[in-house]
Structure formats: structure tokens, C-alpha cells
Amino acid sequence: MVRWYYRSIFDELEDMRKYMESLSRQMSDTSPMVLLPSPALSTIKMLPKQRDVLYVLRVDVANTKREVVVTADMIPGVLKKDITLTLIDPVTLRISCERRDENREEKDGYFLWERTFGSMIRIIPLPRAVSEEGSRASFREGILEIHLKKSEKETKGKIPID
């Protein structure tokens, strides 16, 4: 007599739980700095391209004699106070922005309350080591321009926006 083994939904869920635990262990054992590309390999994509993204933060990086200039087209509607610039390490810049908006309207027997929010983070590998000291940023008409002074020593920190 032959017995057939039928897998139940609980067996599949147990396999999925074990797989998720192994992924979680791999992520916790890995330093986040390992995921950043080296400056020499700035063309490597860190994550696969998402097709459903409505807006992509476009960034240009220019290497001049004394500074590295980063220009970014920001998301429409983002204000200066919503943007944060952080120098993760001397060759990596993080641009993050968060937008929250709330609209309440009450007319002729109806009440409308809309809330919109979203955030975006972009990590940019820089061609040379830069310093927070002497660096400046400006935000005008939806264009963020960051001037980073070149440096050989390692520094980390936040950059104020004019």
C-alpha cells in the first residue's frame, strides 16, 4: 500500500517563517555600510529599478577643482524645511525629504478631509572625499544645489540649507 504525503497550508507557512528568519539574521549580521557602493564603482545599482515609482529624484554630480557640486530636482511641493542633508561618510551624501499635507474643507452639507504624505531618501556616492566644513546648500524654485568642499580627512555631519 502506498501513502501519499499531502502538504498542508501550515507546512508552507512554517517554511516561509524559517525563510524569513534566515533573511532577518542575514540582515542583522550585515553592516549597512557594506551596502554602499565605493566611489570608484558609482555606476553600480544598489537596488533593482522599481517600475511603479511616480517620481524619481534626479541628481547630477559635478567634480570641480575645489568642490563637488550636487544638483537635485526635488519633488514638487517639497519645502526647504522638509529636506535633510547628511554626510554619511566622506564619500557618501544622503538627501532625504518628507512631505505632509492636510486639507480640511466643509461646504454645503459635506465634510472633506484629505491627508497626503510621503518621504524619499537618496544616497549619493561622491567622486572624492568631502568635508562638512565650508560646504553650503541652496534651495530655489525646486532645485537643490549642494556645494561640498573637498577634503582628505574623514568627517560626518549635517549640512544646513540657505
pLDDT in tens, the chain (162 residues): 566 666 777 888 888 899 988 888 777 766 555 555 555 554 444 444 444 445 667 899 999 888 999 999 877 778 888 899 999 888 899 998 888 888 888 888 888 888 877 788 889 999 988 988 888 999 998 889 999 998 866 556 677 787
Predicted pLDDT at 162: 74
CATH code of domain 39-158:
2.60.40.790
Contact 121, 95 (CB under 8 A): yes
Quote the CA–CA distance of 41 and 144 in Å, as a whole number: 24
Question: The whole model's pTM is what?
Answer: 0.56
Contact 80, 161 (CB under 8 A): yes
Predicted pLDDT at 67: 92
Predicted pLDDT at 42: 46
| Torsion angle, alpha carbons of 76, 48, 129, 59, to 10 | -20
Pairing of strands 143-150, 157-158: unpaired
Mark out the alpha helices in the chain (DSSP H runs): 9-29
Predicted pLDDT at 161: 80
User: Which contacts (CB < 8 Å, 24+ apart) does range 148-155 have?
Assistant: 148/67, 148/68, 148/69, 148/70, 148/87, 148/93, 149/66, 149/67, 150/66, 150/67, 150/68, 151/90, 153/90, 153/129, 154/89, 154/90, 154/129, 155/87, 155/90, 155/131
